[in-house]
Structure 1
Amino acid sequence: MEIVNFIKQYIKNPKTVGAVAPSSEKLADRMVEDINFLNATCIIEYGPGTGIFTEKILNKKKDSTIFIAIECNLDFYKILKDKFKDETNFILINDSAENIKEYLDKYNIDKVDYIISGLPFASLPDTMSQTILSVTKEILKAKGEFITFQYTLFKMNLFRKYFDKIKRKKVLLNLPPAYILRCKNVKFINYFNKDNWS
């Protein structure tokens, strides 16, 4: 049923949905495998869609960790609201990721540990992408990470405008295959610990 809903939304909104099928279990596992759930106090997800990453995060996070998911598609929002209605410290918002700071202010949250994104930056308007990435950089903690996946590396230069270091890995078991990008700024990170960062 989820894949049918996803296809319908892709047909209606190809620029903001960005894929004809939900992300695979393998991609979801790889997206969250580097999150330090023990120490994270606040996690944000942009564009959760039907909630495959959302579910992984909810299953792994501490009860005390605040988890905010922001979804602009009303149909997906309704699916998520029903699916995760009983979760602890889970805030679901129907809005654009461009406006996430307004909600952090509303809930008295200053900075966040991780931002997970399913947004299709390759198809979003440039001004929207730049606004989202600028706000993302602003609200992340000094050692925070922005973790996104993309189907091509077309927007790497855009991501590099906002993040000093980007580590990437490819997941073949997804339709289509995807690149996961772990993005951070290393200003306050030990420069001698640079393994696999490029």
Structure 2
Amino acid sequence: MKNAFFVLLSFCLFTSTSFAQSSSYGSKNKVTAPANRNYNSDAPIKLKKVTIAKRVTVALPEDFTAMPDEGIAVKYPAARKPLGVYSSPNGQVDFSVSEKPTTFIARDLPLVKDIYKASIMRTFSEVQFIRDEVKTIDKKQMIVFEFVSTLKDENPNSNKAPVKKYTIIQYYIKAGKVMVFSFNAPAIWKDKWQKAANEVMNSIKVS
């Protein structure tokens, strides 16, 4: 069990590092949001069903498109490429799915949740949790974190503004693997995206 703990802890740190790298990338490549209803109005965000890697279906905003491999390599650098990444037209709002091996099983979810939460808190300068729970989605138990994070440049001579993100991340453990689903957007758009983000994450189905 001790070895299993360190395996999962290493994965937590790896996942959170990818999170931080994605946030940093977004801050260096800011694009002005187009003047459409998804970003600058209160009109509902329409969703469409998407199948990812033949095993995952999810309802995503209809204007989201699959990120090409070269984009994934830059924004989500990892030894194991995500199963899929979908992004908004301006590249600032993403949904991603990744999968990694684990020695934990479903009954370990309370322990795993605590480990992941600690990892998230270490990764960012500040974290404000909105939700922190184990929830049933499509008859499957998933760990769910919804939060607003702040990542500050620790260099005392840096004049870079902190990167603030709104995120929902979910973990599902089955058959020796953990699937990680994440939705993130700039924190300033939280009010515009929160309802749609929750609809997206609640629509996830894994076969």
* TM-score in terms of structure 2 length: 0.23
Greater Rg, structure 1 or structure 2?
Answer: 2
